[in-house]
Structure 1
Amino acid sequence: MDELVRWLGVQLDEDERTAREAGGAAWEELPVSGWVHTSPLPDTEWQPPGYDHHVASAPLSSDRAHIVRHDPARVLREIDAKQRIIQVHNARDSWGMCVACPRDEKGAMQVEIEDCPILRALALPYADRPGYKESWRP
């Protein structure tokens, strides 16, 4: 597996851990109070005591809307989507080449995995994290 793919997997694992520690549930705005709180989980999921709690206070409704839009539930969905994209790029054909990477008219891969524009784009939001290489920047 290539360095970019490994590094990106570590970033996604860290985001997943953080989102799960935050409860993994959706958040809702309480416009009257200026608070954002966790949404109740379905009855089928375990909830720690007092789970329905305030997670942020923001005086501006636009700030609360942004916080709600980027709740742990969305983060987990985004991680799942990114992991699926990476899985496609890790799939190899009978010659050991990435099945998703661009190819020339003869069927040869045009880029190495680390040069794949899709994987580079997936890594870009993590450019401020340790280990990111400027050579990965799209």
Structure 2
Amino acid sequence: MGTALSDLVEFVRARLAEDESTARWAADYRSRPNGGRDLSGDERWQWVDPGSGARLRLGRRPMDHLQRPVSMRSTGTYPWQSRPGFGPHHVLDVPFVKEGTALHIARHSPARVVAEVRAKRLLLDMHRPDGRGACAGCGEPAAAGGCTTVRLLAAPYADHPAYQRACAI
């Protein structure tokens, strides 16, 4: 049986794999009608006027542009259409969206999630058991619920069924 740190590292690695997989799937046009190429998660999103394609500047009042239909599109264009009648960068059409929700969705595009996963994996590589009962990155005891860095990386997943309360901060 592994130490609390190695168990927690594996828990975080599994959650990061889920996050990355979901982000890549969101950017994978093969899963959409009429197919498209795999974007490997390298897709950033923005809100646009569905008629003109002009980018909407969110975060400013009034919110009248969100009181009518809006479209989410990738910032890049690709050679395949997501479905007939929509441009090759179409992601989503909505009749109404709250401004805070719209900002959150666009800010957490697949490209950002994949980049965050990459950075967190590098942190996990630094904070692993050193074979002597401590964390190789910070020297904290590995068996005492894991090091602070790994516990912080695990904290956003506290509602996951596999999350160990003993390792909570």
Structure-1-length-normalised TM-score: 0.76
CA RMSD of superposed structures (Å): 2.5
1:126 is the counterpart of 2:140: no
Q: Please state whether the residue corresponding to 2:159 is helix, strand or coil.
A: coil
1:27 is aligned to 45
Percentage of matched positions with identical amino acids: 30
C-alpha contact 1:35 1:64 (8 A) present in aligned 2: no
> Does residue 45 of structure 2 align to residue 14 of structure 1?
no
> Gaps spanning 5+ residues in structure 1: where?
103-109
Deviation at 1:48, TM superposition (A): 5.2
**Structure having greater relative contact order (Cα 8 Å, sep ≥ 6):** 2
1:40 maps to amino acid: G
Cα distance, 1:112–1:76 mapped onto 2, change above 3 Å: same
- Structure 1 range deviating more: 82-91 or 119-128: 82-91
Shift of 1:49: 4.3
One-letter amino acid of the structure 2 residue matched with residue 99 of structure 1: A
- 1:21-60 paired onto structure 2 within 5 Å: 21-23=25-27, 24=41, 25-30=43-48, 31=56, 32=65, 33-40=69-76, 49-50=81-82, 52-55=89-92, 57=94, 58-60=96-98
Match of 1:100 in 2: 137
CA contact (8 A) 2:129 2:142 kept: no
Aligned match for 1:71, one of 97, 101, 109? 109
SS in 1 for 2:117: helix
Whether the 8 Å CA contact 1:38–1:55 is kept in 2: the answer is no
Distance apart, 1:20 and its partner CA:
0.6
Q: Aligned pair in 2 of structure 1 residues 5, 56: CA closer, same or farther (>3 Å)?
A: farther
Alpha-carbon shift at residue 38 of structure 1 (Å): 2.1
Give the Cα–Cα distance (whole angstroms) in 1 for the partners of residues 130 and 167 of structure 2: 22
Give the deviation of 1:122 after TM superposition: 0.3
Deviation at 1:97, TM superposition (A): 4.6
**Aligned pairs, how many?**
126
Q: Which amino acid aligns with 2:121?
A: Q
Higher helix share: 1
Q: In structure 2, what is the Cα distance between the partners aligned to 1:64 and 1:48?
A: 25
Q: 1:96 to 1:129 in 2, by over 3 A?
A: closer
